[in-house]
Chains A and B, each alone.
Chain A
Amino acid sequence: MKKLVSVKDAIQLINDGDTLLVGGFGLSGSPLTIIDEIAASDKKDLTVVSNNLGEEGRGLGKLLVAGNLKGAKGSYFTTNRDAVKAWSKGELEIELIPQGTLAEAIRCGGAGIAGFYTKTAAGTKLAEGKEERIFDGEAYILEKAIKGDVALIKALKADTLGNLIYDKTARNFNPVMATAAKVVIAEVDEIVEAGSFAPEDVVTPHIYVDYIVMNRYIKKGGRYVESV
């Protein structure tokens, strides 16, 4: 399969200072194998756009511990105490974005839309410094699209062209992130022959996907366990 690369080669596509779009809701749908490889590298000053920053020492939390990060943009960091500590010591820049605004900003980033007006957060602290405009008597704020240098996403299976399907609620931010970065690397559990998916079932068409990496994690008792 043309797009399949080793995880070592895959992370060579990431440069210091890059903005990474990283899929996942907590650890579910998060590309854990690629994250491990970044944590073991000397990549630095990365900004991660992801709903959370994993958990303490798990998933994206590893990048914080390893010192790869300059900043994080997402909706919920409270559950990772390392992130709270790093932020209060001034070691991590955090931009807090409502979850729906985050998803829509990435969708726009992939769809050629520069920005959008949303009523979410209008009139709140999170609207400070943002343009407010009234449409049909209701206040909306201007949010800019979000794009990444590299998207790191997690899918259940890829076919040999790179079409992707996802596992249950592990889909979350992955399909929109697949559209919004210059380079898209998908970590998958399995690669099957093109034609194995019914066209109706393909969630991410292959043109969005540049590289495929095999997942080293397996699930046991419904939880993630590293296999090597």
Chain B
Amino acid sequence: MSQSERIKIAKRVAEELKEGEAVNLGVGIPTMIPDYLGDKKVFLQSENGLLGMGPTPADEDIDMDLISASKKPVTYEIGASLFDSSDSFKMIRGGHIDVAVLGALQVDETGEVANWAVPGETILGVGGAMDLVAGAKRMIIASTHVSKDGSPKLVSKLTFPSSGKRKADMIVTEHAVFKFREGKMYLVEILSDISIDQLKEITEANFEILEKVK
């Protein structure tokens, strides 16, 4: 996956975020989104206890007690606030975060997400993934279309452990945008020069095609 494809995904998700929304960004491609928001202002929430997270500081301003959930140094935006972990997850679980943008290992055709564990490997980390899946008002998945070994990430049924019963609203890959409605997956946009037949080949999940895409 090239950097330009990662940027394409980040830019497309950035279009989905609305002025003034509270947004939690997962690790990987989601962390690139702030670079593509233009003049649009959103409030980034970090689950270790910060609302109003700003960009990476200059080296001389790094403070390892002002960090993101990925444990990377960050800064404050104007109007930022600090709170403890239980308050932070009150925000997340209680439906006060407008959008969570998360990576995924697999997403099934109903929108159920697996993003915390690989079968057969030691499972010793979940972090805030399940809380975000359960609680954010909207869930957008930003992910490569297939996994590193070429196997489909968009599957008919999850073979990786589920992150929760709550379904994603949308997934953006380097090839396409899909939306999930009432347990069904819809192709709403094509983002590369891929044909629909080629897209079907690399997508195990069944999807319907919106008229405007055909």
- A34 interfacial by beta-carbon distance below 8 Å: no
Q: Does B49 contact A169, Cβ atoms closer than 8 Å?
A: yes
The one of A26, A101, A118, A123 in contact with B165, judged by C-beta atoms closer than 8 angstroms, is A123
The one of B65, B89, B117 in contact with A103, judged by C-beta atoms closer than 8 angstroms, is B89
Of A7-15, A40-48, A191-199, A219-227, which binds chain B? A219-227
Q: Does B84 contact A119, Cβ atoms closer than 8 Å?
A: no
- B73 interfacial by beta-carbon distance below 8 Å: yes
The one of B61, B64, B164 in contact with A27, judged by C-beta atoms closer than 8 angstroms, is B64
Interface residues of B, Cβ cutoff 8 Å to A: 46-50, 60-67, 69, 71, 73, 82-86, 88-89, 92-93, 117, 122-131, 134-135, 161-166
Q: Is chain B's interface secondary structure helix, strand, loop, or mixed overall?
A: loop
- Cα of A99 to Cα of B126 in the assembled complex, Å: 7
Chain A 25-41 interface 0/1 with B at a Cβ cutoff of 8 Å (1 = within): 11111000000000000
A174 to chain B, nearest CB (A): 7
Q: Does B126 contact A224, Cβ atoms closer than 8 Å?
A: no
Tell me how many residue pairs across A and B have CB atoms closer than 8 Å.
Answer: 156
Q: Does A106 contact B86, Cβ atoms closer than 8 Å?
A: yes
CB neighbours of B135 from chain A (8 A): 100, 119-120
B129 to chain A, nearest CB (A): 8
B25 to chain A, nearest CB (A): 16
Q: Does A168 contact B165, Cβ atoms closer than 8 Å?
A: no
Q: Is chain A's interface secondary structure helix, strand, loop, or mixed overall?
A: mixed
CB neighbours of B126 from chain A (8 A): 75-76, 96-99, 126
- Cα of A104 to Cα of B131 in the assembled complex, Å: 11
- A142 interfacial by beta-carbon distance below 8 Å: no
The one of B48, B125, B163 in contact with A96, judged by C-beta atoms closer than 8 angstroms, is B125
The one of A94, A106, A121, A172 in contact with B48, judged by C-beta atoms closer than 8 angstroms, is A172
- Cα of A28 to Cα of B92 in the assembled complex, Å: 21
The interface centre, meaning the residue of B48, B66, B128 with most chain A CB atoms within 10 A of its CB, is: B48
A156 to chain B, nearest CB (A): 8
CB neighbours of A106 from chain B (8 A): 86
Q: How many residues from A make CB contacts under 8 Å with B?
A: 54
Q: Does A25 contact B67, Cβ atoms closer than 8 Å?
A: yes
B127 to chain A, nearest CB (A): 5
CB neighbours of A208 from chain B (8 A): none
A94-B124 contact in complex given A103-B86, A119-B93, A172-B85, C-beta closer than 8 Å: yes
The interface centre, meaning the residue of A120, A121, A219 with most chain B CB atoms within 10 A of its CB, is: A120
- A131 interfacial by beta-carbon distance below 8 Å: no
The one of A96, A97, A170, A221 in contact with B65, judged by C-beta atoms closer than 8 angstroms, is A170
Chain A 203-224 interface 0/1 with B at a Cβ cutoff of 8 Å (1 = within): 1000000000000000101111
- Cα of A172 to Cα of B100 in the assembled complex, Å: 20
Q: Does B63 contact A219, Cβ atoms closer than 8 Å?
A: yes
The interface centre, meaning the residue of B49, B61, B69, B161 with most chain A CB atoms within 10 A of its CB, is: B49
Q: Does A99 contact B64, Cβ atoms closer than 8 Å?
A: no
A162 to chain B, nearest CB (A): 18
